[in-house]
C-alpha cells in the first residue's frame, strides 16, 4: 500500500507494522506536499460529485483530511510518487483517531471512480455476474493493500473462473430448455430491406427466392448483370410486386461498393439486413495461385464485407435495429490442403463476424442481430469435382438455403452444416496438430481438391 506523505514518520515501530496502524506522530507538511494534497483533494471532490451522501471535510489526528462518503466511514487523500491515492479506512473513530489493529486499502483516483461506478449499479436489477465483477475488482485492488498478496490474487482469480463457468452453464441450460420445451420464435421479416451479394446464382439466388415470400424488400448485387436482372424480374413476377431491385456491383472494387451503397440509400432506403454471401475459390495449391488470384479471393471473400458493413452499419447503429448475416464456410474453422487462400479468407470472415458481434454488444446495440453460416461443400457448382467423404457429403443447396432462412428468422448466432462440424470443432480444440493432420489424411480431406474443376 502506498504511504501517504501526511502519514510518513521518521520511525515505523514494530507494533505499528504488526497492527497495520500508522504512526500518530505528526510531521509538518512542506509546501510541495500541501500543493499535491490540495490537488488530490480537488480530484476527490470531483470524483465524488453526485455520490450518495455529502462529502464532509474533517481532520484526522495526524492532520490529514478525512471525508465521510456515503456508507464508508472515512476516506483520506494522499500522494505517493506524485500520484494521488484514496485511502479507505475502517479504523477511525468519531474523533478521527485510528483504531489499532485494523486494515485498509489504497486506490488510485481512477480505481476509486471505477469502484464507485460498480457500487452505484448495484440495485434490484443487478445480476449475479455484476456481483462477481464487483467482488473480483475489489479483491484485485486488495492486492495493493496490506492484505496477503497471494491470497487476494488467488481469490480474485477464483471469482473470475466462477463467473466464467456460471455464464457458460447458464446459457447451456437455457438453450437446452428452449430446444426441449419452448421451441424457436420466428421474427417478422416483412418490413426488412435486405441486401444480398452474389444473388445471381447459387445460395444467393436461393435465399433471395425464400425471403421474397416473406414480403421483404430485396436488393440483389452481383457482377453478372444479366443473370442478376433476370432473378429480380422472376421474383417480382412471383410476388406480384416491385420490391426486388437488381444492381451490378464489382465486389473487388471498394469504390464500386460505396457507389452502389449510395445508390441503394437514395433509391431504396436504409438497408436493415446485410447477407454477405458472394464468394470465389481458386482450388489451387499456394505456389500455383497467382498473386492476382489471391488478391481477388480476399477482395471478394472478406474485404468486401468490411466495405459493405461500413456503408450500411451506421444506419443500423442509429436505430439499434438490423441483422448481419455472414455466409462463411466450414473452411473458415479448419484449414485444408488445396484451399490455402480460400480457408484464409474464410477464417478472416469468421473473425470479422465474431469480433463485430462482440463490438455490437459492447456498444449496447443488441437490437442488431448477427448470424454466421459455416457449411461444408455444397452442390452449387462452385466446388464441382471435389471429392467428399462419408462424414462430409456434398450438401444440397435447397436444404442449405432453407436452413439459412430459418437461422435468420430465429436469430441463430451460428449455423454449422452439417451438424457434425460441431464435433469437429470440439475435436480440434482438444487434439494436437499432429492428430488433426492424420485425421484429415484418414478421412480423405488431404486430396479432396485433387479433382476440383469448379468455377475458378
Kind of pairing between the strands at 368-375 and 322-327? parallel
Which DSSP helix (H) or strand (E) runs through 72?
strand 72-80
Q: 349 with 328: CB under 8 angstroms?
A: yes
Rounded Cα distance, 448 and 39, in Å: 70
> In whole angstroms, what separates CA 151 from the centre of its chain?
31
Reduced DSSP (H G I as helix, E B as strand, rest coil) percent helix, strand, coil of the chain, to 5: 50, 15, 35
255 Cβ partners below 8 Å, 6+ apart? Answer: none
342 belongs to the catalytic site: yes
What gap in Å lies between CA 22 and CA 3, rounded to an integer? 9
Residue where the block lists cell 436444404: 399
Element (H, E) at 372: strand 368-375
C-alpha cell at 91: 479504523
Closest C-alpha among 393, 394, 289, 278 to residue 340: 289
E-strand ranges in 204-329 read 217-222, 244-248, 273-276, 322-327
Query: What does the alpha-carbon distance between residue 447 and residue 341 come to, in Å, rounded to a whole number?
Result: 16
User: What phi-psi label fits residue 269: left (phi over 0), alpha (psi between -120 and 50 degrees) or beta?
Assistant: left
The catalytic residue positions are 342
Amino acid at each position: 500500500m502506498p504511504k501517504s506523505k501526511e502519514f510518513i514518520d521518521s520511525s515505523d515501530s514494530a507494533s505499528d507494522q504488526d497492527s497495520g496502524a500508522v504512526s500518530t506522530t505528526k510531521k509538518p507538511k512542506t509546501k510541495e506536499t500541501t500543493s499535491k494534497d490540495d490537488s488530490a483533494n480537488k480530484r476527490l471532490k470531483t470524483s465524488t460529485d453526485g455520490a450518495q451522501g455529502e462529502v464532509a471535510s474533517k481532520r484526522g489526528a495526524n492532520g490529514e483530511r478525512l471525508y465521510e462518503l456515503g456508507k464508508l466511514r472515512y476516506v483520506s487523500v494522499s500522494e505517493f510518487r506524485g500520484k494521488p491515492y484514496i485511502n479507505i479506512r475502517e479504523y477511525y473513530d468519531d474523533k478521527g483517531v485510528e483504531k489499532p489493529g485494523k486494515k485498509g486499502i489504497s486506490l488510485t483516483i481512477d480505481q476509486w471512480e471505477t469502484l464507485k461506478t460498480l457500487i452505484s449499479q448495484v440495485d434490484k436489477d443487478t445480476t449475479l455476474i455484476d456481483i462477481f465483477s464487483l467482488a473480483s475488482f475489489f479483491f484485485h485492488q486488495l492486492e495493493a493493500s496490506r492484505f496477503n498478496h497471494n491470497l487476494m490474487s488467488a481469490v480474485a482469480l477464483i471469482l473470475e473462473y466462477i463467473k466464467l463457468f456460471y455464464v457458460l452453464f447458464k446459457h447451456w441450460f437455457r438453450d437446452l430448455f428452449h430446444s426441449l420445451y419452448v421451441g424457436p420464435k420466428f421474427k417478422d421479416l416483412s418490413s426488412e430491406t435486405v441486401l444480398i451479394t452474389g444473388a445471381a446464382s447459387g445460395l444467393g439466388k436461393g435465399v433471395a427466392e425464400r425471403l421474397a415470400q416473406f414480403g421483404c424488400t430485396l436488393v440483389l448485387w452481383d457482377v453478372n448483370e444479366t443473370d442478376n436482372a433476370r432473378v429480380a424480374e422472376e421474383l417480382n413476377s412471383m410476388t406480384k410486386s416491385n420490391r426486388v431491385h437488381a444492381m451490378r456491383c464489382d465486389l473487388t472494387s471498394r469504390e464500386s461498393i460505396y457507389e452502389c451503397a449510395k445508390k441503394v440509400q437514395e433509391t431504396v432506403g436504409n438497408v436493415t439486413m446485410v447477407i454477405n454471401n458472394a464468394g470465389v475459390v481458386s482450388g489451387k495449391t499456394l505456389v500455383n495461385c497467382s498473386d492476382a488470384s489471391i488478391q481477388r479471393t480476399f477482395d471478394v471473400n472478406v474485404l468486401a464485407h468490411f466495405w459493405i458493413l461500413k456503408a450500411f452499419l451506421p444506419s443500423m447503429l442509429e436505430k439499434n435495429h438490423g441483422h448481419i448475416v455472414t455466409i462463411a464456410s466450414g473452411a473458415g474453422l479448419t484449414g485444408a490442403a488445396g484451399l490455402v487462400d480460400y480457408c484464409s479468407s474464410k477464417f478472416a470472415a469468421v473473425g470479422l463476424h465474431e469480433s463485430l458481434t462482440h463490438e455490437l454488444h459492447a456498444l449496447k446495440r443488441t437490437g442488431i442481430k448477427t448470424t454466421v453460416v459455416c457449411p461444408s461443400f455444397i452442390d452449387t457448382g462452385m466446388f464441382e469435382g471435389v471429392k467428399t467423404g462419408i462424414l462430409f457429403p456434398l450438401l444440397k443447396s435447397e436444404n442449405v438455403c432453407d436452413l439459412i432462412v430459418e437461422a435468420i428468422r430465429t436469430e441463430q448466432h451460428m449455423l454449422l452444416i452439417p451438424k457434425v462440424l460441431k464435433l469437429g470443432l470440439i475435436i480440434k480444440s482438444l487434439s494436437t496438430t499432429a492428430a488433426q493432420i492424420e485425421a484429415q489424411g484418414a478421412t480423405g480431406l488431404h486430396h479432396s481438391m485433387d479433382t476440383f474443376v469448379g468455377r475458378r
